[in-house]
Amino acid sequence: MSTPIELPKWADVSLVPILAVIVAFLVAGLVVLGIGENPVKATVLLIQGALGSGEGIGYTLYYATNFIFTGLAVAIAFHAGLFNIGGEGQATMGGLGAALICLNLDFLPWYIVLPLAILGAMAMGALWAFIPGYLQVKRGSHVVITAIMFNFLAATLVVYLLVNVIGKPGSMSPETRVFAASAHLPYMHEALAYFGIKIPKSPLNFSFVLALLASAFVWITVWHTKLGYAIRTVGHSPTAATYAGISIGRITLITMAMSGALAGMLAVNEILGVQGRLLLEFSSGYGFIGIAVALMGRAHPVGIILASILFGMLYQGGTELSFEMPRVTRDMIVAISGLVILFAGALDGLIRRPVAGVFARFLKSGA
């Protein structure tokens, strides 16, 4: 049971996740078959919906942006041996941070208010992850437990603030007023039109570029800085970290703050990019799916981008599919995402073991 399974790196990062997705689709196909629809047709519709049109691709990448942020958040914590399950709460607080800046400063020009709003989102997300980190370092409260609690705290705090403090006066719905146009991140179709490139309208906005920059930042930080070295040492071997003079507490705090800042950037896409106001439950589960994205992407930014696009396809293609095949409801899509998570994450060994077996036999006969 406990014997580590050695695979060549390429198989580990590509073959196993791809097989996981295929197995998930086969099982989902059985379910589709069970409700009396044609699984092949459903798959074709799903892929067409996600990638078949410029608009579809725009939506897919817009969803992927959210997954990249939350996936990176989980991944960087993984490298320090931490499990940040609080992405939802950190994203929610990120929304609050962005909104507080925008509500108070959106009379300023965009080149001042937008950077401040992005920093606000990152700072509040970082704070909401830093506190569980601090409690673990100082009080020994496990970060998983406190981070989950902080998801609820963030949700209720934002409800309270939207209803009582920063909500739009005279409105029945718990949301803020719409921010001024200067506090709105440009859509990609707007930005590219400025350069004379025409693409179809979609919610895809400048956050996608930020997500790619964040991926590069995580890649450099984890593998090419002294801080990243310390983070990975703590993650692999706390005893070796102590020996090397690396403070485990300090690394825990820094990593949690970075992780929270990345989760908080989900608000940049949703609040600054699309909604233009703070409203309830905009994080809608992206924080949790970020865990699956990080697992599937092997906690590597390139893997996370690919896994995010896959989940973006599932979201967008699934929506289209439920239009075309009313019997395949939105819930079916959630179920398929669940299966991907199951096979890529929890049942990883299920795929890895036979693959490793095949490799072992192959190597033996080759030698």
Partner 1 sequence: MPRLTDTVAGHAPAIALMGIDKRFGEVRANSNVNLTVASGSVHGIVGENGAGKSTLMSILYGFYEADRGTIHIHGNEVRIRSPKEAIAVGIGMVHQHFMLVEPLSVIDNVMLGAEGGAILAKGEAQMRSALAQLAETYGLVIDPDAIVGDLPVGLQQRVEILKALVRGADILILDEPTAVLTPDEAEQLFVLLRTLAAQGKTVILITHKLNEIMAVTDHVSVMRRGEMVATLTTAETSPAQLADQMVGRHVLLDVSKGPAKLGPVRLSVEHLVIRDAHSSLRVKDVSFDIRAGEILGLAGVAGNGQSELLEALAGIITPTLGSITLDGLDLITLAPTPAERRENGVLHIPEDRQRMGLVPAFSAAESMILGFQSDHAFGTGPLLSTAAIQTHTAKEMDLYDIRPRDASLKTAKFSGGNQQKIVLAREIEHHPKVLLVGQPTRGVDVGAIEFIHKRLIALRDAGVAILLVSVELDEIMSLSDRIIVMCGGVITGERTPETTNDRDLGLLMAGVTERAA
Q: What residues line the site for partner 1 (CB under 8 A)? A: 223-230, 232-233, 236-237, 239-240, 242-246
Sign of CA dihedral 278, 281, 284, 285: positive
Q: Least CB distance from residue 231 to partner 1, whole Å?
A: 11
Q: Least CB distance from residue 67 to partner 1, whole Å?
A: 27
Q: How far apart are CA 296 and CA 64, in angstroms?
A: 14
Q: Least CB distance from residue 294 to partner 1, whole Å?
A: 18
For 19, 79, 180, 287, 339, the CA distances from 343, given in Å and listed in that order, are 9, 22, 44, 19, 6
Sign of CA dihedral 291, 295, 300, 305: negative
Which residue number, 171 or 237, has a Cβ lying nearer to partner 1? 237
Distance, CA of 54 to chain centre: 23
Q: Least CB distance from residue 79 to partner 1, whole Å?
A: 11
Which residue number, 200 or 249, has a Cβ lying nearer to partner 1? 249
Say what the alpha-carbon torsion angle 175, 285, 266, 173 is, to the nearest 10 degrees: 0
Task: Considering only the C-alpha atoms of the chain, give the largest distance between any 2 of them, rounded to a whole number of Å.
Answer: 77
Which residue number, 155 or 227, has a Cβ lying nearer to partner 1? 227
Q: Least CB distance from residue 241 to partner 1, whole Å?
A: 9
Which residue number, 243 or 323, has a Cβ lying nearer to partner 1? 243
Which residue number, 141 or 247, has a Cβ lying nearer to partner 1? 247
Inter-residue contact 287 to 148 (CB < 8 Å): no
Which residue number, 80 or 321, has a Cβ lying nearer to partner 1? 80
Q: Least CB distance from residue 253 to partner 1, whole Å?
A: 17
Tokens coding 184: 């709105």
Q: How far apart are CA 103 and CA 362, in angstroms?
A: 62
Residues paired with residue 205 on neighbouring β-strands, in sequence order: 187
Which residue number, 18 or 227, has a Cβ lying nearer to partner 1? 227
Residue type present at position 357: G
Q: Least CB distance from residue 135 to partner 1, whole Å?
A: 21
Q: How far apart are CA 50 and CA 126, in angstroms?
A: 33
